[in-house]
């Protein structure tokens, strides 16, 4: 019988002894494996491992992952003021001491801080401390920060950086220089609710770029030069990028996702069409908020040929006041300019869902026209999915009829947005 089995069966504290023995075996693992285990723990628990045994006493000091999150200190908006302030003090003291006594002089795999703007006074000390370890992954997520916190200059701390995710920070012109020449191996950049005070994003190493809900301070034309990027997502807030966005060298793009959060109302038709022209080589395209006249192919305006486009997803597009026939013609003309297109997804497009108001007249019947309908050809298009919330005033029936008349070779699938 093993020592562990004897401990379990032969003494009242056998289970505790067995746990202790198991803990000893865990302590025999190499530092690298123990650090991997610790990387899945919240920072307070990482420090608490120091009481497990003498072997674990100083392991937390050299952990390659540092993650400080507000939620790990149970700070909630619903807490009473004195309780919340006490928890903030604990977070402040813990983070300051953790970074002060951490001694991984080689490098960090990951440095992450996720909190809100209450800690403005400490961030300018914490971030440079983390930068000096040259992390491979850096995530600084500051919610509800007004005004936004300035992003400190990284210096040599960016030499190993592969992933950079920022939320709620002010980015000055030196950040643009950092992207261009200070991050030689950066592949993944995600900026959300940030304030970039420059007009050119330039990097020869990026493969993934997300710019979402970022305010454009300069008001100038924004230029994106990322020749190796495979995935691009842009979320354009109301009133931003009033002079448009120009994307250079997009030949490497595999998927682009462009969301006009203003539903096209403050991002002009000219700039919508211009942006589409920059994406004519992409195989997979997601568009949200685009208007009818930006997509409608007209004799007086050139429209790009999407020679490689295979899948097209449209969400909340064509929600302007144009006639349904014009909206369907816009869809058809776009499809006709995409000879390799195989699948279209239309989610909540063409008409807005409006609850019936008291006294509102509802059509008792509709007339589905058989003649005078433009027909568009796309030889590889075989499948169209229409995702809807509800059918108000027979609009869905009219939409399906119009799609079937204009794109007769494709099968149509109807999906309820609220159904699994």
Give tens-digit pLDDT for 296-326: 877 656 788 999 999 999 999 999 999 998 9
Please report which confidence band the pLDDT of residue 79 belongs to, taking 50, 70 and 90 as the band edges: low
Contact (CB, 8 A) for 172 and 196: no
Q: Which residue has tokens 């995710």? A: 165
Q: Interhelix angle for 395-406 vs 324-336, to 10°?
A: 40
Q: How far is CA 159 from CA 5, 173, 411, in A?
A: 52, 19, 51
pLDDT tens digits, 223-274:
999 999 999 999 999 888 888 999 988 889 999 999 999 877 788 999 999 9
| pTM for the model | 0.86
Strands (E), 33-168: 65-69, 110-116, 137-143, 149-150, 163-167
Please report which confidence band the pLDDT of residue 50 belongs to, taking 50, 70 and 90 as the band edges: confident
For residue 10, the model assigns a pLDDT of 38
Query: How far, in Å, CA of 81 to CA of 83, rounded?
Result: 5
Three-state DSSP class for residue 322:
coil
Residues facing 212 on adjacent strands: 192, 235
For residue 5, the model assigns a pLDDT of 46
Please report which confidence band the pLDDT of residue 88 belongs to, taking 50, 70 and 90 as the band edges: confident
pLDDT tens digits, 107-158:
789 999 998 765 556 788 888 888 988 999 999 999 876 678 889 999 888 9
For residue 239, the model assigns a pLDDT of 84
């Amino acid at each position: 019988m093993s020592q562990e089995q004897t401990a379990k069966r032969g003494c009242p504290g056998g289970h505790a002894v067995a746990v202790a023995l198991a803990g000893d075996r865990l302590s025999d693992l190499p530092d690298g494996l123990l650090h991997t285990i610790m990387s899945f723990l919240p920072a307070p628990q990482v420090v608490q491992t120091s009481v497990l045994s003498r072997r674990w006493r100083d392991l937390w000091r050299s952990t390659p992952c540092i993650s400080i999150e507000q939620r790990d200190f149970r700070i909630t908006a619903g807490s009473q003021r004195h309780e919340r302030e006490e928890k903030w003090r604990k977070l402040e003291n813990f983070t300051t001491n953790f970074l002060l006594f951490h001694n991984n002089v080689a490098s960090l795999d990951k440095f992450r801080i996720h909190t809100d703007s209450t800690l403005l006074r400490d961030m300018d000390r914490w971030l440079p401390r983390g930068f000096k370890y040259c992390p491979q992954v850096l995530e600084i997520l500051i919610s509800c920060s007004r005004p936004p916190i300035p992003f400190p200059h990284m210096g040599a701390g960016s030499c190993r950086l592969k992933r950079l995710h920022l939320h709620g920070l002010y980015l000055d012109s030196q950040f643009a220089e950092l992207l261009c020449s200070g991050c030689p191996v950066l592949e993944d950049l995600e900026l959300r609710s940030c304030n970039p005070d420059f007009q050119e994003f330039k990097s020869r190493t990026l493969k993934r770029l997300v710019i979402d809900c970022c305010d454009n301070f300069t008001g100038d034309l924004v230029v994106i030069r990322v020749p190796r990027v495979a995935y691009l997502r842009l979320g354009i807030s109301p009133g931003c990028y009033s002079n448009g966005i120009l994307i250079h060298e997009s030949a490497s793009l595999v998927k682009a996702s462009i969301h006009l959060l203003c539903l096209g109302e403050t991002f002009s038709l000219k700039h919508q069409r211009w942006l589409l022209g920059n994406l004519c080589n992409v195989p997979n395209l997601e568009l949200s908020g685009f208007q009818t006249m930006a997509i409608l192919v007209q004799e007086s305006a050139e429209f790009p040929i999407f020679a490689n486009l295979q899948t097209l997803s449209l969400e909340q597009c064509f929600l302007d006041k144009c006639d349904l026939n014009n909206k369907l013609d816009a869809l058809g003309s776009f499809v006709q300019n995409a000879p390799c297109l195989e699948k279209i997804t239309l989610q909540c497009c063409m008409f807005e869902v409006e609850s019936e108001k008291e006294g509102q007249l509802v059509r008792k019947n509709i007339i589905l026209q058989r003649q005078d309908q433009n027909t568009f050809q796309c030889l590889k298009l075989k499948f169209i999915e229409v995702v809807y919330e509800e059918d108000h005033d027979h609009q869905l029936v009219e939409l399906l009829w119009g799609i079937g008349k204009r794109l007769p070779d494709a099968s149509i699938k109807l999906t309820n947005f609220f159904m699994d």
